[in-house]
Amino acid sequence: MSGSLVRIATYNIHKGVQGVGPVRRLEIHNIGHAVEQLDADIICLQEVRKLHRREEKHFTRWPQLPQAEFLAPEGYASIYQTNATTKHGEHGNALLSRWPILHNAHEDVSDHRFEQRGLLHAHVVVHDHPIHVVVLHLGLIASSRARQILKVLAFIEREIPKGEPVVVAGDLNDFGAKLRPAMKAAGFLDFIGAGQFTFPSRLPLAQLDFVYARGLRPTGVEVPRGPIWGRMSDHLPLIAEFHL
């Protein structure tokens, strides 16, 4: 891999389970193999379980480790921050990195009481360059997303030193890329190309997952496709490449 190239992936893993009711199936083991195949420097994950007592009893092969640790390829560091707590457990955002993680933090960006949302901020050193990564899973309502992205940008301005590269990645639930103008106004760009649809995974019709950066130059993007990828989650992963 080039010393100036950075591969950053984002993937909503749907809590490692697909299907509903008694026919639901455990996909977390397949997702573990898939994450390794992404060959990304940094992997941003959403809908990651820390624990779920009911699913742990239902599935005989439920991992003993929290999902973020379980999914980390050999040699990668993992961090996790909870966004939502439920009756049976909790889930949130995670980041896996083949490069050292110096620091991580969490901030609640919920817009209303019906959706618990948060950001995960990680300070990573890639090829001896500091990069800040903000992992997001935004809300389902367009007006909420618009307010949430303003909270995220305010967090970046407040917490991240000016001049240091910043990546914002995740499931933005942004049908039609309506948040792109606000991101561009704040200096964040993503690579715009064909074939970037990530949802629904079996027949992708929309791009809901994005990787934006400021202080890095976007050079390419890819979305893995095929029946295997369509089975593991309701989203496909998106892998973006940047030059330092």
**What pLDDT does residue 2 have?**
59
Supply the DSSP string of 51-114, one letter for each residue: EEHHHHHH-TT--SS-HHHHHPPTT-EEEEEEEEE-SSEEEEEEEEESS-EEEEEEEE---BTT
**What pLDDT does residue 86 have?**
84
- Is pLDDT above 70 for 56? yes
pLDDT band at 241 (very low <50, low <70, confident <90, very high): very high
Q: Distances in Å between the alpha carbon of 60 and those of 24, 52, 57, 66, 153?
A: 13, 13, 7, 15, 42
d(CA 196, CA 204): 9
This prediction's pTM = 0.95
| Residue scoring higher pLDDT (13 or 20) | 13
Percentage, residues of the chain above pLDDT 70: 99
Percentage, residues of the chain above pLDDT 90: 84
Closest CA to 218 of 181, 244, 185, 184: 244
Token pair of 170 as six digits: 């995740």
The mean pLDDT value of the chain amounts to: 94
Give 81: exposed, middle or buried? Use CB within 10 Å, 0-12, 13-18, 19+.
buried
Token pair of 28 as six digits: 């977390």
d(CA 68, CA 70): 5
- Is pLDDT above 70 for 1? no
Closest CA to 29 of 8, 7, 60, 6: 60
**What pLDDT does residue 3 have?**
66
pLDDT digits (tens, 9 = 90+) for 127-175: 999 999 999 999 999 999 999 999 999 999 999 999 999 999 999 999 9
- Is pLDDT above 90 for 54? no
